[in-house]
Amino acid sequence: MLARKGYLATRRARFCALVALCALLIPSLTIAADAVADAFLSDAELTSVCFANADRGWAVGDRGTIWQTRDGGRTWKLQPSPVPCRWEAVQFLDETTGFIVGASTQPHSHLTKAVMLKTRDGGNSWSLVRTDLLPGLRGVKFFDGNNGWVWGDSSSLYPSGVFRTNDGGQSWTPVTKGTTTSWIAGDFRDQRTGAVVGLTGELGLVAGVEIRPTRTSDLGLRYLRRMQFTAGLGGWLIGDGGLVLATKDSGFTWTTSPGELPAGHSQFDFRALAIHGSHCWIAGSPGTAVFHSADNGQTWREYSTGQFAPLHSLTFIDENRGWAVGSFGTILHTRDGGKSWRPQHSGGTRAAMLAVFSQPERIPWEVIASSGGNDGYLTVCEIIGRQDRDGQSAASATVPRRTHEAVVAVGGSAANTSWQFPLRSNGSTQTTASVLAYWNEFSDGRAARLATEHLVRRIRTWRPEVIVTEDVSPRGDDPLGHVTNQLVLSAVQLAADATFASEQISHAGLQAWKVKKVYSVQTNSRSGVITLSPAQWAPRLGGSIGEQAQRGSSLIHSDYERGPSQIGLSLLVDNLPQQTGRRDLFSGISLIPGGDARRELPEVVQDNLETLSRAAQKRHNVQQLLSQADQNDPASVGWLGQAEDLTKGLSKQSGGEVLFQLAQKYQQSGRTQSALDALQLLLDKYPQHPLADRAAVMLLQHAVSGEVAWRERKSTNFEVKLTTATTALEDPDQQPVIKAGAPLPRALGPLISRATGDSQQTTAAPQVSGDERSARAIAIGKQLEQSRPALQAEPSVRFPLAVAHRLAGNDRQAERLIDPFTNLGEQNPWAQAVAAEHWRRHTNGLPPKKLLTCVTAAGPPQLDGRLDDPLWRTAKPITLRTAAQTDEAWPAAVVAAWDREFLYLAMSCAKAPGVKYATDDRPRPRDSDLAPHDHVQIYLDIDRDYATSYQLSVDSRGFTAESCVGDSTWNPSWFVAAAGDERYWTAEIAIPWRELCSATPQPKDLWAVGIQRLVPGQPVQSFTHPATAKVRPEGFGLWLFE
């Protein structure tokens, strides 16, 4: 005991010494640098261009950039913008009246907010137009100073994403019926009719207050980009992969162009579209050519632009004079209908660095912040895998846009997500072969070739000196990273060979390009030939590269993700002589500031640089202290009391990150109340912090959660006993088919079982009444309504609030909170959750969500894995299926039953082809890593808040994992028996009610439940959809106690 006390005293002394050292390291921060200088605006990507006449024009884009010309583009001048957001579209009615629309994306929550400007003096001054709670806008069409349309993102309050005004934007009326999704492009003929298109192929016709479906339903994988009407009933729609479609009925049907486009048009991802009379112009990526038709698409010609940067917008004021804008601030002009083009402005012509990664979550933000942001090397990011297929969230469709915003936020120039290569939602469990096999399903078996050609095209378009990519993984630890690494290395070699993909040169106007260096990012913060520290001060960004990196990370991750302790880069390819390129990323490469691949470097403010550098170092030290501390160390209990010292001298951004990381640490160690206290302190101290929204939602959800409340009340011995068994099927010829509505098969015969287990003691918090919980949650809800109304309108907030009002006995207010979500449409899972509440009260008709009926057990089953108890024969099984129902060869089913003491579950899963099913006789540890194994996850949401739940997981070996609202220190006493043979694996589960709730449920009680099966390399099987490897609570079904 004395030794233990001495150990604790030493740990506490070390902790206090570290805190004191951090506090003494720096004084308070006194200044902050402005990273958005003119140099950053010069190469900002331009998204839209508009001319009121031959002389006066405007171009807008990233970082709030607004360029204006008064002389036809001979000179362009920057105009001040009141908001540094990404502008998406500009429209002028005449020389004086114009509009600009765009979007601001909130970190972590990823909610978008509309931003709109209006001018009445030709753009000399711009004023913000009131948009209240409108989501982000992507397009605008006014007919006069009062009447117009805007369109863009879908939100919970405004699911249609389309709005109309008749008072110049002082008020907006949403379209209230029909298709609900986010729209990337559109056009309108008048104040009642128009058409809109979504990035991932959605098409809609706007008729008054309704968005109706079109007759064209499936356009494949290609992303859609632009749409514009012509005179009469005609119009054009363009997209990636050379997509060009025409309509003759205002968008009701879309068909291929009446005339054949020039050879090689499929080498282009079309992004820009302009129409004047019978003339149509199209351009995109690469920006080497403009395609022109003078006869409504009957014939087409291709004209060279003389440059490579992708083009994003075109405009023509007559048949001859036009402008094109795009990446790196490129502005081009033609006077002969597009036959020849002259540059009028650009902040660069090519990339210095190209970052190629399989997913945006893998981007090394610190590398881009250091080289792209601070040192001015024009940096572009290419994401190979798209994440909006395989039943993934509709929000995933915004990932390409958010990836671009994130790269720009840390100092990069652009990001692109390829359209050809979708990823499964459980991609982390795939093999190299399964990644390519899935891609082959969409490419006639040519995935490797197409992916290589795609990357070669990108290299030849951007012409980088340096490429950064993922590390090699020959042992299969990271299949997706390994595939990316190998594709990049192959593409780098072939991009320099003019005979490979020669059509890119002969038809698309590209040139062979030799990359000088290729680096890979080391995993697990390992060192490399070059090692970056996040604490490194970036004077031109006004912070450390770690701080700047968080700006990018926050636009990708919903929770705070602490950056690596260091970033190691290994040199894979070095085409420089005599090893001159090993010192840093660009050593041995001469790129002058203000040249074709590097922006002018803003002047560095000299005051307090030493102070700022120390602040960056302290941030790094504190984060490392928190990340390396043992979560079971009793000394860590005192962290919250040291919060003032931990955050003293840090910027507001860094201070908030430290408090959120502290909350995460408490949550991981099972100290829920301390975690909530840290979140509350973050809200109180940094109310405008990017993490404040996430903190507020977590506070609300935990305050009302029935699972959290019961866990905090309960004090008991936690004991688990796991029984495993193996045997052969009674009928060796039985086929692995489980029919819906049929009893589970008697898959297993006699068996030999063995039990192992452990136990531990823990103490929980005292009881908190339902009234106290509801009052606390309702108070938080009122604060959100006042300070964060858009966030308070989200279903992830309102459903927990509805639970709070039900606990307080105010059912009507609960209904009022969630009823607006019925506007999301019958197929929307949130709308179905609303309908489920009405069904629960009236219990007539069919349930609006899938229903699992938990039958009453006449007697307890014998947990031996055989599934031959009478109970299972009378239970009502539910099947687990993939969204595409491609799992006929490996079906699965689950049944549930209950009595006064236990909840029982049984599952029967046919083994998936190509998956290894190993046996393991070792003692079962708590919270095993089940990801590499076939396993079933069960989520029990006992109060239907669709936010918090218990999670119980079992794999084919009988290994288990459990958590309560993501806290894996929850270790309930539950019993598992697993068995298997060459065709099936089965499991039986029993969990006492005392582990889940204060009293045994009553007949007709209703829970929400999610049950899904994750098989390595396969799509997710689930009881309900939508379902992804990262659970989507809104997709839960209903659990009815019979």
Do residues 24 and 51 share a domain?
no
What DSSP string runs through 191-254? SSEEEEE-TTS-EEEEETTEEEE-S----TTPPEEEEEE-STT-EEEEETTTEEEEESSTTSS-
Task: Output the DSSP codes for 320-364.
Answer: S-EEEEEGGG-EEEESSTTSS-EEEE-S-SS-SEEEEESSGGG--
Q: Please count the CA atoms within 13 angstroms of the CA of 64 that sit on its side-chain side.
A: 17
- Show the tokens assigned to 972: 């309930």
Give me the helix-helix angle, 652-668 and 692-704, nearest 10°: 30
Element housing 778 (H / E): helix 770-787
Closest CA to 1008 of 1042, 1040, 983, 984: 1040
Asked if residue 649 lies in contact with residue 615, where contact means CB atoms within 8 angstroms, the answer is yes
d(CA 810, CA 558): 32
Query: Cα(first)–Cα(last) distance of the chain, in Å?
Result: 53
- CATH assignment of the domain containing 76: 2.130.10.10
- Comparing CA positions, the residue from 334, 380, 335 lying closest to residue 356 is 380
Pairing relationship of beta strands 517-521 and 466-470 according to DSSP bridges: parallel
Residue 845, C-beta contacts closer than 8 angstroms, at least 6 positions apart: 839
* Residue among 354, 360, 374 nearest 467 (CA): 354
Chunked into runs of 10 residues, the chain (1042 residues) has average pLDDT values of 38 38 32 55 97 96 96 95 95 95 94 95 90 93 96 92 94 90 95 94 93 88 96 96 96 95 95 98 98 97 98 98 98 98 97 97 96 96 87 63 96 96 76 88 93 98 98 88 96 98 97 97 86 88 89 92 91 86 88 95 65 69 68 58 81 89 86 90 92 94 93 58 38 37 37 38 49 90 91 94 95 95 89 94 86 93 89 92 91 96 96 88 84 95 97 95 92 92 94 95 96 91 88 94 93
Three-state secondary structure call for residue 427: helix
Q: Is residue 708 part of a domain?
A: no
Q: Write the CB contacts of 149 (distance below 8 Å, at least 6 apart in sequence).
A: 140, 141, 142, 162, 163, 164, 165, 186, 188, 191, 194, 206
Shared-domain flag, residues 559 and 625: no
How many of the other CB atoms lie within 10 Å of CB of 496? Answer: 15
The answer as to whether 565 is a domain residue is yes
As a whole number of angstroms, the distance between CA 933 and CA 958 comes to 11
Q: Residue 1016's domain is classified under what CATH number?
A: 2.60.40.1190
53 and 26, same structural domain?
Answer: no
Residue 899: strand, helix, or coil: coil
Task: List the Cα angle 111/115/118 in 5-degree steps.
Answer: 170
On whether the CB atoms of residues 698 and 664 are closer than 8 A, the answer is no
Q: Which of 345, 360, 379 is the last residue of a domain?
A: 345
d(Cα 108, Cα 557) in Å, to the nearest integer? 6
Q: Is residue 622 assigned to a domain?
A: yes
660: which residues sit within 8 A by CB, 6+ positions away? 560, 678, 679, 682, 691, 694, 695
Indicate whether 589 belongs to any domain.
no
Query: Do 301 and 416 belong to one domain?
Result: no
Are 484 and 451 within 8 A, CB to CB? Answer: no
Task: With respect to residue 67, please indicate whether it lies within any of the assigned structural domains.
Answer: yes
- DSSP symbols for 108-173: TT--EEEEEEEESSTTSS-EEPP-TT---EEEEEESSSS-EEEEE---SS-TT-EEEESSTTSS-E
Count of domains in the chain? 5
Parallel/antiparallel/unpaired status of strands 57-61 and 46-51: antiparallel
CA separation, residue 494 to residues 457, 485, 491 (Å): 10, 14, 5
Produce one character per residue of 512-551: b if its CB has 16 or more CB atoms within 10 Å, e if not. Answer: bbebbbbbbbbeeeeebbbebbbbbbbbbbbbbbbbbbbb
Residue 843 burial (10 A CB sphere; 0-12, 13-18, 19+): exposed
Longest dimension (CA), the chain: 92
Domain end residue (candidates: 828, 863, 895): 828
DSSP-assigned letter for residue 78: E
Burial of 207: CB neighbours in 10 Å, binned 0-12, 13-18, 19+: middle
In a shared domain, residues 914 and 967: yes
What does the alpha-carbon distance between residue 78 and residue 775 come to, in Å, rounded to a whole number? 52
The 10 Å Cβ neighbour count of residue 713 is 13
Pair (924, 803) in one structural domain: no
CATH number for the domain spanning 482: value is: 3.40.50
Q: How far apart are CA 245 and CA 59, in angstroms?
A: 26
Domain encompassing residue 1019: 715-742+849-1041
pLDDT value at position 394?
Answer: 52
CB 383 within 8 A of CB 400: yes
Amino acid at 982: E
| Range 45-66 burial, b when 16+ CB lie within 10 A, else e | bbbbbbbbeeebbbbbbbbbbb
**383: number of Cβ within 10 Å:** 26
pLDDT of residue 23: 36
Q: For 231-243, give the DSSP string.
A: STT-EEEEETTTE
**Cβ-based burial of 560 (10 A; exposed 0-12, middle 13-18, buried ≥19):** buried
Give residue-wise pLDDT tens across range 907-948. 999 999 988 898 887 887 888 899 889 999 999 999 999 999
> Cα(417)–Cα(397) distance, rounded to whole angstroms?
11
Does 795 share its domain with 913? no
3-class secondary structure, 752:
strand
Cα-trace Rg, the chain: 30
593 located within any domain: no
Q: Are 960 and 952 in contact (CB under 8 A)?
A: yes
Cβ within 8 Å of residue 108, ≥6 positions away? 554, 557, 558, 559, 560, 690, 691, 693, 694
Same domain, 118 and 187: yes
Do the domain assignments include residue 594?
no
Whole-number pLDDT of residue 924:
79
Q: Record the tokens describing residue 430, joined without a space.
A: 């795939």
Q: Do 274 and 413 sit in the same domain of this protein?
A: no
Q: Which of 828, 861, 894 is the last residue of a domain?
A: 828
Same domain, yes or no, for 212 and 65? Answer: yes
Taking the C-alpha atoms of residue 482 and residue 291, their distance in angstroms, rounded to an integer, is 38
Rounded-to-integer distance, Cα 522 and Cα 569, Å:
6
Q: What is the spatial distance between Cα 970 and Cα 951, in angstroms, rounded to a whole number?
A: 10
DSSP 498-556: TTTTTHHHHTT-------SEEEEEPGGG---SEEE-TT-EETTTTEEHHHHHHHHHTTT
Q: E strand or H helix at 190, and its extent?
A: none
Give the separation between CA 661 and CA 650, rounded to whole angstroms.
Answer: 14
Task: Give me the pLDDT at residue 27, please.
Answer: 32
Residues 872 and 949 in one domain: yes
Question: Which residues contact residue 673 at a Cβ distance below 8 angstroms, ignoring those fewer than 6 apart?
Answer: 712, 765
Residue 591, in any domain of the structure: no
Q: Please give the model's pTM, rounded to 2 decimal places.
A: 0.90
Query: What are the tokens at 1025?
Result: 């959809």
Same domain, residue pair 26 and 68: no
Spatial CA neighbour of 832 closest among 946, 965, 957, 702? 946
One DSSP character per residue, 907-952 reads EEEEPPTT-------SPPPTT---TTS-EEEEEEETT--SS--EEE
